[in-house]
A and B are shown apart, each in its own frame.
Chain A
Amino acid sequence: MIGKLRYALVFLVCLTGCTQQVMPWERGFLAKPQMQLDTDPERSKIMKHTFSSKEAATGGYGVGGGGCGCN
């Protein structure tokens, strides 16, 4: 079951774009700090907190709140 699900997911992803297998030793560029999804977690935390307290939209980036009176 898990195995099938796994292949279904892989298949789904492979369908959506022309991806090529990236080997572990080819990940030097992807491992660079500027290539991380969150290059500056502390600063993006305050920016997301600010945007979500001034705008209606929230979510997408991950689960987790922090509470906010946000006048």
Chain B
Amino acid sequence: MAVIKRNKSALSTLSLAALALPGVMASAADSDQYSVDTLFSRYSESQNRMKIDAYQASAYLPLTDTLNFRVNGVKDVVTGASPVTYYPAAGKAKMIMSGASIADVRDAVDISASYTNNLGQFGVDVGRSSENDYNSSFFNIDSKFDFNQKNTTLALGYGFASDNVWAIDHCPPHCEGMVGNEGKYRRSGVGGDKQNHQGLIGITQLLDKHSFVQANLTYSYSGGYLSDPYKAVYAPWVTEPYPNYADSGFMHDTRPGEKHQIAFLTRYVRHFSNLNSAALHLDYRYYADTWNIGAHTFELSWNQPIVDHWSITPKFRYYSQNAAEFYQPYYTSQRTDGFYSSDYRLARFGSVSGGVQIEKQFFSKLSVGFAIDFYKRDYSYSINGGAGSPVDNFTFSILSANINYKF
């Protein structure tokens, strides 16, 4: 009996040593596993402005060697308040918040299929997202082609989205549209349809057996109602009352009906054998649009495997943008182009963010992770120019937990 025991361990000892040989461990089944990924995250803004709980789930279904499907679902529960407009007080912008009036749920689902043959990999993704003030239907197609003995991959993609946006008011207190009938109603005079077309061309190139780079260029065209139906701008020359607030001197956020955007992203990934297979990820993105916004994004993360399938990943990100050409925190005179927006997302600002993620894998089937991320936006962090205001400085944190399972 003792001899048998020793030899059973002989088999496992020999197997372990054999599996440690480079390149013998791959198996045909690696890429064909059904899997389910779930993530919960909680977004909280400073001063209790806004809170979003997001529930995500995704199922990967490989049907055959060449055809697979993926189903994604997201539910966001949004509560809190957000800035509506600004007005000048002693030469500085003062913010008017919406009050704790936001209570929205976003449901999004999309289904994608991917097919691989001798020519390349082809995918299609169709989905819909709906909120009580926003609907979006979209589809994307993408393809990948390998060249140069799979050292080079070319990616081409196209996406289309058709969206509809409006504003919801509650009665009371805003009962202009539906006196005597409490509940939600759609605010008149704002909202509309918009369409978006996107194109992508990208190249991934292996540099050596430890590193590769990717360069992507995306172009996007949006047309239609691109304003924010909830937001107003301070416009002292306006005499008629602003709906819902009954104050004169304000008008609706009014942006151009067209926007062209480009983004150029380069990514570098490197492996470090002598640091327990740690991986460095470096991203830089340049962005520009026809509203005259330019932005730089730098991202850096370090994925460090530790022991027993634990890993830790610290992340850092820096972002800087300049203001849209028509943006002002508040207006003192009329613009000839007729465009007005005080949306803080169109202002000059910069942000720094960072976080850390901890992941543990069990039996190469189950993996569980936690992450915490902090984000700080500040007017003075921008390396770009244009109008902006420290009144829009804020911070947020995101706590998230994930469970992934491979069958």
Q: A: which residues have CB within 8 A of B?
A: 6, 9-10, 13, 16-30, 32, 34-35, 37, 39-43, 45-47, 50-51, 53-69, 71
Asked if B248 is at the interface (CB within 8 A of a chain A CB), the reply is: no
A-B contact count (CB 8 A): 214
B166-218 interface with A by 8 A CB criterion: 196, 198-200, 203-210, 212-214, 216, 218
Please classify how large the interface on chain B is, using the bins under 10, 10 to 19, 20 to 34, 35 or more.
35 or more
Residues of B108-143 at the interface with A, using a CB-CB cut-off of 8 Å, are 108, 110, 125, 127-131, 133-136, 138, 140-142
Q: Is A34's CB under 8 angstroms from B277's CB?
A: yes
Q: A32-B277, A42-B402 are in contact. Are A57 and B152 (CB under 8 A)?
A: no
Give the Cβ gap from B46 to chain A, nearest Cβ, in Å: 12
Evaluate contact between A54 and B152: CB separation under 8 angstroms.
Answer: no
Q: Tell me the B260-296 residues at the A interface (CB within 8 Å).
A: 261-265, 267, 269, 271, 273, 277-279, 281, 285, 287, 289, 293, 295
**Most B CB atoms within 10 A — which of A17, A27, A61?**
A61
Could you tell me the distance between the alpha carbons of A54 and B134 in the complex, rounded to whole angstroms? 17
Is A13 a contact of B205 with CB atoms below 8 Å?
Answer: yes
Cβ B278 vs Cβ A34 within 8 A? yes
Contact for A20 among B127, B207, B289, CB less than 8 A: B207
Identity of the chain A residue whose Cβ is nearest the Cβ of B159 in the assembled complex: A63
The reply to whether the CB of B352 lies closer than 8 angstroms to some CB of chain A is: no
B117, chain A: closest CB distance, angstroms: 16
Task: Please indicate the chain B residues that have their CB under 8 angstroms from the CB of A32 in the complex.
Answer: 271, 277, 279
Which residues of B78-130 are within 8 A (CB) of A? Answer: 78, 82, 98, 102, 104, 106, 108, 110, 125, 127-130
Closest 7 A/B residue pairs (Cβ): A67-B136, A60-B265, A63-B159, A67-B129, A59-B263, A57-B287, A60-B263
Q: Which residues does chain A contribute within 8 Å of B289, judged by CB atoms?
A: 56
Contact between A28 and B23, CB atoms less than 8 A apart = yes
The answer to whether B147 touches A9 (Cβ under 8 A) is yes
Contact status B127-A37, CB under 8 Å? no
- When distances are taken between beta carbons in the complex, the residues of chain A under 8 Å from B135 are 67
Residues on B facing A (Cβ under 8 Å): 22-23, 37-39, 41, 43, 50, 54, 56, 58, 74, 78, 82, 98, 102, 104, 106, 108, 110, 125, 127-131, 133-136, 138, 140-142, 147-152, 154, 157-159, 161, 163, 165, 196, 198-200, 203-210, 212-214, 216, 218, 220, 228, 230, 261-265, 267, 269, 271, 273, 277-279, 281, 285, 287, 289, 293, 295, 297, 303, 305, 311, 313, 319, 321, 324, 345-346, 351, 357, 359, 369, 371, 373, 375, 377, 396, 398, 400, 402, 404
Please indicate the chain B residues that have their CB under 8 angstroms from the CB of A60 in the complex. 216, 218, 263-265, 285, 287
How near does chain A come to B145, taking the closest CB pair, in angstroms? 9
Contacting residue for A54 out of B131, B151, B285, B377, CB 8 A: B377
In whole angstroms, how far apart are the Cα atoms of A18 and B123 in the complex?
A: 31
| B313 / chain A contacts, CB cutoff of 8 Å | 39
Which residues of chain B are within 8 angstroms of A58 by Cβ–Cβ distance? 220, 261, 263, 287
Q: Is the CB of B39 within 8 A of A43?
A: yes
Q: Which of A23, A41, A66 has the most CB of B within 10 A?
A: A66
Contact A25 B23 (CB under 8 A): yes
Q: Can you list 10 pairs linking A and B with CB atoms under 8 Å apart?
A: A9-B203, A10-B147, A13-B203, A34-B277, A34-B278, A40-B357, A42-B56, A56-B346, A64-B138, A65-B161
Kindly provide the distance from the CB of A52 to the nearest chain B CB, expressed in whole angstroms. Answer: 9
| CA of A15 to CA of B351, assembled, Å | 35
A63 touching B134, Cβ below 8 Å: no
Q: Give bound CA distance, A66 to B72, whole Å.
A: 11
Which residues from B are CB-within-8-Å of A6?
147
> Is A27 in contact with B278, judged by CB distance below 8 angstroms?
no
- A55 touching B157, Cβ below 8 Å: no
